[in-house]
Structure 1
Amino acid sequence: MQQAKDILSARKLIEVAIVEDVIKNATPKDYKLLREIVTSEQDKIEHKEISKGIRLSGDFHLLLAKISGNVTLEWIATTLVPQTSLVIVLYERPDQPKCSHFKHFELIDVMQNGDVAKASSLMAKHIQGIEDRPKLDEREVVSDLEDIFRKR
């Protein structure tokens, strides 16, 4: 449980920094691609293909990291995003809404308008929302996350 909390906490710090760099570096083509991913994410969630929707949500965040142009932040994100997806799959409350695509569309709009402060705030709230979704205090650990991601 603590590993899951640590992963989510680290993500919040990293992704706020990524958003600032995205605003500096993103092209209209980048924003178009981000919207395409989120549209696909929305479609999968609406068709109850939750695992595919979660993967596309992760793809959205990984693309943000790539667009940021910061190779180190991108490398860290490629570690944290899949781990977060696993945390969500393992521990998410079934009654929680799967509507991150709404937040993703809003974030794209704000970034495209160049509002760093608002985009940073939205990303922090978005990741906090992800932190609030899993029931990390109520369920026994199924498996240690380090074991799941350890290369064999």
Structure 2
Amino acid sequence: MSKKSTRVDVACQALRQAIIEQALPPGTKLPEDELGAQFRMSRTLVRAALAQLQSEGLVDAPPRRTATTAKPTLEEAREVFEVRRTLEREVVRLVIARWRPEFGAELEGHVRKEEAARKAGEARVSIRLAGEFHIKLGELAGNSLFRRYLGEVVSRCSLILALYGRPHSADCAVNEHREIVAALRSRNAEAAIELMDHHLGAVEHRALLDQDRDAQFDLGAVLTRYTETAETGNGSKIARLPRRKTRAAK
């Protein structure tokens, strides 16, 4: 991997995780100069990172305007959930068809991480882990395209919940994930699909309009936290310049 591509990857990973964990609310401005200073890279590379996130539906980057985290409409939100339900039903069937005992151990280990985050009161980590449970199912399905598309719609659902949703219920997510794993272990496709439909229905139900989403925050402070995580994952370090305070877009 080249030095340039590593910088773009770190930026994408940090921004993606910050959006998924709802640390960057929908509509947050993402100025190229500030992102360039944060990730220590040129505007050209910043634009490459933003273009990647735009292709995933997480960022709006219109020509000659400052990019922002995406603000999907309610109609777009409904479409995303429709696609997600269809994908996850087929993923459940594929996972059961390929089932091995180690799948259960891997999924249960992930649910334990969700439980630990819930007990620690780490709401944003809990949100991310809840989404990663579904992405892990996509990986176990053994189909790279299902993994890719499911990862994208799960990320978009996190963004939708940040914009429209009621507060995340970690208790419900953990319990429902346990029930899904139990149905998968029994290789009962009908029961597992029914549980998955119920679970996704509950997630979609939380996607109701919430007007209190325009808090002030320090963009640099948020991204510093996520940059450190992304750098660790990529085995690289990127120097950061002093940051200035930024306001969420109204």
Residues 1:97 and 2:151 are matched in the alignment: no
- Residue from 106, 110, 114 that aligns with 2:183: 110
Counting matched residue pairs gives: 140
CA distance in 2, matches of 1:134, 1:17: 23
Q: How far apart are the structure 1 equivalents of 2:187 and 2:78? A: 31
Q: Quick one: which of 187, 192, 205 aligns to 1:119?
A: 192
Q: Rg larger in 1 or in 2?
A: 2
Q: Which residue of 1 aligns with 2:124?
A: 51
| Distance in 2 (alpha carbons) for counterparts of 1:46 and 1:90 | 25
CA RMSD of aligned residues (A): 1.9
What's the offset of the Cα at 1:5?
1.8
Per the alignment, residue 71 of structure 1 pairs with 144
Instruction: Using the aligned pairs only, state the percent identity.
Output: 26
More helix per residue: 1 or 2?
1
Match of 1:82 among 155, 168, 177: 155
Q: Which amino acid aligns with 2:205?
A: D
Structure 1 residue 97 displacement after superposition = 3.2
TM score, norm. by length of structure 1: 0.83
Deviations along 1:24-45, one digit per CA (max 9) or x if unpaired, are 1132112111111111112212
1:149 maps to which residue?
none
Q: Deviations over 1:74-120 (max 9, x none)?
A: 121011111112222332213x6332110000100011101011111
The runs of at least 4 aligned residues of structure 1 exceeding 3 Å deviation read 138-142
- Is 1:131 the counterpart of 2:204 in the alignment? yes
